[in-house]
Amino acid sequence: MNNQAKPAKKQGSVRGPGGPLVIASENGVNACKRAMELLAAGGDPVDAVVAGINLVEDDPEEHTVGYGGLPNEEGVVELDACVMHGPTYKAGAVAALQNIRHASSVARAVMQHSDHVLLVGAGALQFAKVHGFKEEDLLTEEARRIWLRWKEKLSGHDGRVPPRDAASAIGSRQPEDPDFHYGTITCMALTAGGDLGGCTSTSGLSFKMPGRVGDSSIIGAGLYVDNAVGACGSTGRGEANVLNCSSFLVVELMRRGATPEEACRQALQSVAQRTERRLRDAEGRPAYSLKLYAIRKDGLVGGASLRGPGRMVVQSRDESRLVDMPALFPARSKE
């Protein structure tokens, strides 16, 4: 099996294989397989991707989402998620949700059972309980040990920044400190009939300030679906994605004729140009990770990584494969 992504052809000269098809971030292999089982049986695209992501949210060894996700700086797991349904152009999302492992399912319930798009904090929890979701402690012993190790090191690299004059210097803060990671799963599906749906779910930046919300619950940032064009999801530094509405931009670029890979690269170039000085390395390049994953309505897929290599999962009826995504800038050297 060749895991290398083929070079993008000229705009308008390529077509995808059609559906059913599922794509996801690299941690979504099992999610894609489950989603494809439901698609092959005629299932709804949002139901399919949420069922797939539930598997990842259930995995205590996956520290990016759900049960076992790494907590905020106070040791509390807070989850964000959103879904978007192409055929109806409806969406639902939750942010800073505590004590409910399947944030993706709660986001779907918000879409299906409310007139709102986004519920947060205590309101999101109350809504989840009313709809039958059970509360539980999401902090596993392994995640607790990781959090305590970070606390004991007394790292100064938290969510707080120095005054503006000190923060303006290039390289004044390294957001990819090994103590931290931006953990997320995104998954999108295309049915045989050409309908699209997507979901992004996360436990967010590890050891974040309580109440911090990244891009994974923001429609247009962490996920965007337009049934006439395509869909895009993301992983990585959520703040950069929120500021640039990257997933929405990718879909709009595809609407104008760009391939998924071209659209992702162009969106990341825009992100790079707007990155503030304190988040750049000594060479002036963005020092953080951000990845975009996209699928077009005809089934053509592609993605790109801002910093260092990236891979995406592509699941068809017959096979699952990992596809390399191009990077705008090389990975940071280990210091």
The percent of residues in the chain predicted with pLDDT above 70, rounded, is 87
Residue 275 neighbours by CB distance under 10 Å = 20
What's the predicted TM-score (pTM) here? 0.90
> Can you tell me whether residue 313 is helix, strand or coil?
strand
Q: What are phi and psi of 239, to 5 degrees?
A: -60, -40
Half-sphere exposure of 315 (CA within 13 A, CB side): 28
User: How confident is the model at residue 157, as a pLDDT?
Assistant: 56
* 95 membership: H or E segment, kind and range: strand 90-97
Length of the chain in terms of residues written? 335
pLDDT tens column, 101-142:
999 999 999 999 999 999 999 999 999 999 999 999 999 999
**Region 156-176: what's the mean pLDDT?**
50
Contacts of 254 (CB under 8 A, 6+ apart): 229, 230, 260, 263, 294, 296
Nearest 5 degrees, angle CA 132-CA 135-CA 141? 145
Residue 255 neighbours by CB distance under 10 Å = 14
Please determine, for residue 265, whether its predicted confidence score (pLDDT) is greater than 80: yes
Segments making up each domain of the chain, as ranges: 21-157+166-328
**Region 51-61: what's the mean pLDDT?**
97
Q: Which sequence positions are flagged as catalytic?
A: 184
* 156 vs 71 pLDDT, higher one: 71
Fold type of domain 21-157+166-328:
Glutamine Phosphoribosylpyrophosphate, subunit 1, domain 1 (3.60.20)
Q: How far apart are CA 257 and CA 235, in angstroms?
A: 24
- pLDDT band at residue 162 using 50, 70 and 90 as cut-offs: low
**Region 86-112: what's the mean pLDDT?**
98
Residue 28 neighbours by CB distance under 10 Å = 29
Contacts of 73 (CB under 8 A, 6+ apart): 151, 158, 159, 207, 208, 209, 210
